[in-house]
A and B are shown apart, each in its own frame.
Chain A
């Protein structure tokens, strides 16, 4: 019978924010906290913009066609986090990316997330998926 540990919160002993877990194959270990997504969002910008579901996203702002701002509830510790995602709309291939004009990302928000058609035109979409991995403050 599998053992099940029921607990509301996990903390490291040496470092409260660092717990090591064994890999699926059993041959390696890795930081649990480093692998956890620190924010994600599912957002629709067609018509009235709606944040469909999210984690660690306090608010979203429609800043123009195909451009959205995601503000974090809890800030990241630095700008060196990884931002990835995709978007879709019926009948079109859409790409997504982050627009910081070549500057470092903000620790308090992703400003701005883009959604574009396959010809490069900015476009609203019925679903943008965004994920953030990195270090929380």
Chain B
């Protein structure tokens, strides 16, 4: 018979630190947001707000900070009907501006990171996208 443990909070033996999830790691933040017009968050974890920095350029701000800037960022987009009238061209390129050579020259911090989206063509034209996704793995403060 499987054993079931009912508990509301799990901490380490000292009661102040994290427990190890054997060979597993949970995301520390994720978000689904609309980047067109007034940016709005549909659903999220550990995301306090999203700043609209310009066309196709956003800052995602954490509710609880990360412990360092060495976290993993990934994301995606499906663009929008306005920008991509045919299914064959739907989508967009996501960039995380993690070094000073990026167009926006903004490195991640423990409290936020930036992401940008552009058309999925060789021109890489910046655009706002209706469906934007991001997630973060690493260590919380």
Seen from chain A, the residues whose Cβ lies within 8 Å of a Cβ on chain B are 2-3, 5-14, 16, 18-32, 34-37, 78, 80-86, 95-103, 105, 114, 116, 118-120, 122, 131, 133-135
Contacts A34-B45, A85-B76 aside, 5 further interface pairs with beta carbons under 8 A come to A13-B6, A13-B8, A25-B140, A120-B121, A134-B43
Residues of A with C-beta under 8 A to B102? none
Partner of A7 from the list B5, B16, B46, B82 (CB cut-off 8 Å) is B5
What is the CA–CA distance of A53 and B6 in the complex, to the nearest angstrom? 31
**When the two chains form their complex, are residues B9 and A28 in contact, meaning their CB atoms are under 8 A apart?**
no
Give how many A-B residue pairs fall within 8 Å (CB-CB).
Answer: 189
- Measured CB to CB, the closest approach of chain B to A126, in angstroms, equals 19
Establish whether residues B27 and A7, one from each chain, have CB atoms under 8 Å apart when the complex forms. Answer: no
The minimal Cβ–Cβ distance linking A37 to chain B, given in whole angstroms, is 7
State the majority secondary structure of interface residues on A: loop
Binding site for A on B (CB under 8 A): 2-13, 16-19, 26-28, 30-32, 42-43, 45-46, 64, 67, 74-82, 84, 87-94, 119-122, 130-131, 133-135, 139-141
A95 touches B140 (CB 8 A): no
Q: Are A35 and B26 in contact, CB atoms less than 8 angstroms apart?
A: yes
Q: Nearest chain A CB to B123's CB is how many angstroms away?
A: 9
Contacts of A26 in B (CB 8 A): 16-18
* Residue pair A135, B91 in contact (C-beta under 8 Å): no
Q: Top 3 closest A-B pairs, CB basis?
A: A35-B26, A102-B81, A23-B140
Residues of B close to A18: CB separation below 8 A:
8
Q: Is there contact, CB below 8 Å, between B18 and A101?
A: no
User: How far in angstroms is the closest Cβ of chain B from A97?
Assistant: 4
**A66, chain B: closest CB distance, angstroms:** 9
Q: Which residues of B contact A12 (CB under 8 A)?
A: 6-8
Q: B30: which A residues are within 8 A, CB to CB?
A: 35, 82, 133-134
Report the minimal beta-carbon distance from B66 to chain A, rounded to whole angstroms.
Answer: 9
A20 touches B45 (CB 8 A): no
The reply to whether A8 and B4 form a contact with Cβ atoms under 8 Å apart is yes
Bound complex: CA of A41 vs CA of B81, how far in Å? 27
User: Which A residues are in CB contact (< 8 Å) with B92?
Assistant: 95, 97
